[in-house]
Amino acid sequence: MARLWPYLAILALALLLPLTGNEYWALIATRMAIYWVLISGLNLVVGFAGQLAIGYVALLAIGAYTASVLTAGTVMEPLPAFVALGLAALAGAAAGVVVGLPALRLRTFYFAMTTLGFATIVTQITLAWQDVTGGGIGIPGPSMPAPMDTAWGFYYLCLGLGAVCTWATANIGASRFGRALVAIRDSEVAAEASGIAKPRLLVMVFILAGALAAFAGGLFATLQTYITPDAFTFDLSLLFFIAILIGGRGSILGPLLGTILLTLLPEVAAPLAAWSTFLYAALLLVIVLAIPGGIAALLDRNSRKPLPEDRAIQPRPEALAPLLGERAERKLLSLRGIVLAFGGVRAIDGLDLDLRQGEVHGLIGPNGSGKTTTLNVISGYYRPQAGSMTLGDAPLPPGHPVGRAARGIARTFQTPRLIGEATVLENVMIGATIEGRAGFLEALLSLPRQRAEERAMAAQARLALEAVGLAGLAGVRADRLQHSELRFMEIARALVLRPEFLMLDEPAAGLSAEEIRRLGALIRAVSRQGVGVLLVEHHADLIFDICDQVTVLNLGKVLAAGMPAEIRTHKEVVSAYLGA
Amino acid sequence: MLASILASGLAVGAVYALIGITYNTMYLTSRVMSFTAGQLGMLGGVFGSLFVLRLGLPVLPGLLATLLACALVGVVTEVVAVRPVLKSLDQHLYVLSTLAVALLIQHATALEWSTEPQPFPRLLGLGAGIWDEKYWLPVAACIATIIGLEYLYRRTLVGRAFVAIAEDNFAARALGLPERNLRIASYALAGAVGALAGFAGGQLLLAFFANGPLLNFYGFIPVALGGLGNNRGAVIGGFLLGLFQQAANFMVGGIFSSVAVFTLFIIVLLIRPQGMFGAPAARRV
């Protein structure tokens, strides 16, 4: 309830607005609501997924022209206004995918540029395609049936739609889809390792954002009563984009306030109207340089509360049994003859390796001996030039990191890959993303199955946090944690996946002696639940304490393999790596 | 018709190539793609018209003043929009900060100069028809820039320092190169190159505030296709783009030529995101 009151306050104010009886205010507020219908969808693209889609005015224009042309009766029999709006949304959904597709391959500046180019081209087409769009002369917008044909009637319609969009996009934001979008934005590699397929997810969001933008375009055409290409200037695109950045990334309330602010700005400062775009640009610069978190960061008082300083990580291995369950069969993950060369350097040179479920397998060796590279080959980030991998009875295809989570292979990273702006709990819940069965639409409407799944995922994540000893920090933003806590958080994220095999890349690096001891006990307990653990480490003591098997690499080849006791006394290992 | 396609295609191609070089010059020392590149080209035209036509300076001092003014804009860009966000390059804040500065430039020009295209003076009064100076001046400026940059990068100490920083920023700093000053210098240089593009192409493009976004986009295409930081790719790409665009212009009309350019650009980038001459991205894990 506490989190709802700002929305309810805005809605109450909006509902009371007709009491002023001032139809000019109705116009402004209607425009605000229409902009918000577009921005709420764009917010998922820009604020959540972090894609710099600057040219969304193009989708507004597509929606406005589609709805207007379908109701004007110049090209075909006129359709009812709402049918036309629906078709406009469909056209927008298709266009949204077209604008968005480059984002699957291209990054940041490139993508920003292509959306800009798209916006330019749509304007040029509306000018040139005179038979349909009326060219520079324009066409009338759709007119609404009663009772939406008055200023206040239309206002209530747009307000209602705006409220629905707020609710629906907030549902997405709070669902596994919203978390996955933020994960793609902040740490694409971690998202991949958790089995989040970026293309599918982005396309769904582009469809939604495109449909909302085009629907808003139809409403916009009604509000304008008559549209020409001049109505869709780049300044409008800028307003949409900056409203989100002012609001803050990954927030719904922030961009809503940003929309209200930016729509009001030229009205309250009437003499500045000519300078409004200049002001938007200046605002953008100030926000980027001074408050990158936007309004949302200013409102978030929770994240400024100091954390207790004497906190310690207290793993509770008892929580592992309910989290991981029991594994009846013991599978084998084996590598045969793996070769991987970077240019002339053979990083891995004919490696054989067998990992068993229920065992801790240590992988040690000097720097550059191919330990992390091996891990990256197993988790699919590198594609070996030769050799084969099998998991149980099935071959493990090389490459394809996104598919590893579904095969029960989880991992952590040498430098923790965190989603800094999400809470610790949300970071861990990322690991459970692939367990979600409820679809995008169910999440959009927050249907019962979706809500049940969310509760189950949160419970799993809390259990994992308890197991690694971070239960007390569940609600804290992840970028406020200490390095050692991040390491344990990554393990929790991997455990939530209920993996068959868990690969840890130097988990003890940067930990205190006491923390290393607790880490060792935790890894041991994980393996006793039937999880196969591959441990890449430099701390020889930890390796020899907890490993069942140890493989020593040197220059990409196996130098020695066997029980810890054999390795510790192995002559070549001692001289090449351990030292006397 | 072929002759006029060639003449105008090479002319606008040269302007695009120069804007591409502007992008690259800024990119090399800072790893930042700046939205201001096209605005510098726009300013070249506006300042040229301002100094030569309105204030009545002779052509050479007018050119010099234009180059200086844009070099200053380049330096201001570096200080305001690039330096503060360099620390977190991976967050790509520079996309937003340089976009903001580009828009500030564009709208300040619209408000203080004019929102209508203004005439650009005839500079030398040489040539007519397809040999008119408005067609060959940009090409000449482009060739001069390439020769000048090659000389700078190969023969002078400052130029070699640029190359060193572009090659390996950390190693260059460890060697004691004044990285920050060199970066400022490269932004000034980029400003001058952009200004030259706008000045030489002024008679084609006029002094018009809305040229910025267009130059931004059409100057970016050769860079994207040629590979970031690759001047040779930018020049070849720029001339090809100019010829393709003008040919499409003459054959199917202006609107559809830009649709054709855009479509081709997207398709090529989707197939080769790193550009035709660029190297694939570095490792991620």
List of chain A residues whose C-beta atoms are within 8 Å of the C-beta of residue B284: 188-189, 381
For residue A491, the Cα-to-chain-centroid distance in whole angstroms is 20
Q: Alpha-carbon distance A115 to B216, whole Å?
A: 13
List of chain A residues whose C-beta atoms are within 8 Å of the C-beta of residue B270: 101-102, 105-106
Residue in B closest to A113 by C-alpha: B217
Count: domains in chain B: 1
For B259, which of A106, A121, A245 is closest by C-beta distance? Answer: A121
CA-CA-CA-CA dihedral for A98, A101, A107, A113, to nearest 10:
-10
Let me know if residue B249 belongs to a domain.
yes
Yes or no: say if A83 and B242 are a contact pair by the CB < 8 Å rule: no
Whether chain A has a CB inside 8 Å of the CB on B268: the answer is no
Whether chain A has a CB inside 8 Å of the CB on B95: the answer is yes
Largest interatomic CA distance in chain A: 91
Interface of B with A in 220-259 (CB under 8 A): 220, 224, 253, 255, 258-259
DSSP letters, A323-341, are HH---SS--EEEEEEEEEE
Q: Alpha-carbon distance A8 to A1, whole Å?
A: 10
Name which of A31-35, A418-422, B116-120, B251-255 the model is least confident about: B251-255
Yes or no: say if A497 and A430 are a contact pair by the CB < 8 Å rule: no
CB pair distance less than 8 Å for A114 and B104: no
CB pair distance less than 8 Å for B104 and A281: yes
For B104, which of A102, A278, A381 is closest by C-beta distance? Answer: A278
List of chain B residues whose C-beta atoms are within 8 Å of the C-beta of residue A277: 103, 107
CB pair distance less than 8 Å for B104 and A282: yes
Whether chain A has a CB inside 8 Å of the CB on B267: the answer is no
Size of interface A-B (CB pairs under 8 A): 103
Yes or no: say if B25 and B189 are a contact pair by the CB < 8 Å rule: yes
DSSP letters, B127-183, are --GGG-HHHHHHHHHHHHHHHHHHHHHHHSHHHHHHHHHHH-HHHHHHTT--HHHHH
Q: B89, B98, B107: which to substitute to probe chain A, counting the most A Cβ within 10 Å?
A: B107
pLDDT at position B89 is: 74
State the smallest CA–CA distance between residue A54 and chain B in angstroms: 10
CB pair distance less than 8 Å for A284 and B85: no
List of chain B residues whose C-beta atoms are within 8 Å of the C-beta of residue A278: 103-104, 107-108, 111
B226-239 pLDDT, tens digit each: 888 888 889 999 99
Let me know if residue B157 belongs to a domain.
yes
Closest C-alpha to B103, from A276, A119, A103, A45 = A276
Yes or no: say if A106 and B271 are a contact pair by the CB < 8 Å rule: no
**Cα torsion A85, A91, A94, A97: sign:** negative
What the block records as the tokens of A125 is 């087409």
For residue A190, the Cα-to-chain-centroid distance in whole angstroms is 10
Yes or no: say if A18 and A26 are a contact pair by the CB < 8 Å rule: yes
List of chain A residues whose C-beta atoms are within 8 Å of the C-beta of residue B107: 275, 277-278, 281
CA-CA-CA-CA dihedral for A484, A490, A496, A500, to nearest 10:
-110
| Residue range(s) defining the domain that contains residue B232 | 2-271
List of chain A residues whose C-beta atoms are within 8 Å of the C-beta of residue B266: 102, 114
pLDDT at position A160 is: 96
**A360, B27, B84, B158, B164 from B172: Cα distances, Å:** 44, 16, 21, 13, 6
CB pair distance less than 8 Å for A106 and B273: yes
Q: Is the bond preceding A147 in cis, omega lying within 30 degrees of 0?
A: yes
Closest C-alpha to A221, from A122, A133, A118, A100 = A133
CB pair distance less than 8 Å for A289 and B96: no
For A317-578, CATH gives 3.40.50.300
Whether chain A has a CB inside 8 Å of the CB on B282: the answer is no
In 10 A of CB A7, how many CB atoms? 16
What the block records as the tokens of B109 is 């020009």
Q: What does the DSSP 8-state code read for residue A306?
A: P
For A281, which of B84, B103, B284 is closest by C-beta distance? Answer: B103
pLDDT at position B282 is: 57
Q: Confidence class of residue B285 from pLDDT cuts 50, 70 and 90?
A: low
CB pair distance less than 8 Å for B111 and A102: no
List of chain B residues whose C-beta atoms are within 8 Å of the C-beta of residue A192: none
Alpha helices in B156-271, H assignment, sequence order = 157-167, 169-174, 179-200, 202-205, 211-226, 231-252, 254-271
Q: Alpha-carbon distance A78 to B256, whole Å?
A: 29
Whether chain A has a CB inside 8 Å of the CB on B260: the answer is no
CB pair distance less than 8 Å for B33 and A125: no
pTM given for the model:
0.91
Yes or no: say if B116 and B222 are a contact pair by the CB < 8 Å rule: no
For residue A11, the Cα-to-chain-centroid distance in whole angstroms is 28
Yes or no: say if A454 and A175 are a contact pair by the CB < 8 Å rule: yes
Per-residue pLDDT tens digits of chain A, which is 580 residues long: 568 899 999 999 999 998 988 889 999 999 999 999 999 999 999 999 999 998 899 999 999 999 999 998 877 888 999 999 999 999 999 999 988 888 887 778 888 888 988 888 898 889 888 888 888 889 999 999 888 989 999 999 999 999 999 999 999 999 999 999 999 999 989 999 999 999 999 999 999 999 999 999 999 999 999 999 989 988 898 899 999 998 998 899 999 999 999 998 888 776 777 787 888 889 889 988 888 888 888 888 777 788 888 888 999 999 999 999 888 788 999 999 999 998 888 899 999 999 999 999 999 988 888 999 999 999 999 999 999 999 999 999 998 999 999 999 999 999 999 998 899 999 999 999 999 999 999 999 999 999 999 999 999 999 999 999 999 999 999 989 999 999 999 999 999 999 999 999 999 999 999 999 999 999 999 999 999 999 999 888 899 999 999 999 998 999 999 999 999 888 888 887 777 5
State the smallest CA–CA distance between residue B141 and chain A in angstroms: 26
pLDDT at position A131 is: 86
CB pair distance less than 8 Å for B213 and A381: no
Q: Confidence class of residue B280 from pLDDT cuts 50, 70 and 90?
A: low
Q: B87, B99, B115: which to substitute to probe chain A, counting the most A Cβ within 10 Å?
A: B99
Let me know if residue B47 belongs to a domain.
yes
For A52, which of B95, B101, B284 is closest by C-beta distance? Answer: B95
Length of chain B: 285
B11-69 pLDDT, tens digit each: 999 999 999 999 999 998 888 999 999 999 999 999 999 999 999 999 999 999 999 99
Residues of A with CB under 8 A from a CB of B: 52, 54, 101-102, 105-110, 112-114, 116-118, 120-121, 124-125, 127-128, 188-189, 234, 238, 245, 274-275, 277-278, 280-282, 284-285, 288-289, 292, 376, 381-382, 413
CA angle B124, B128, B133 (to 5 degrees): 40
pLDDT at position A129 is: 86
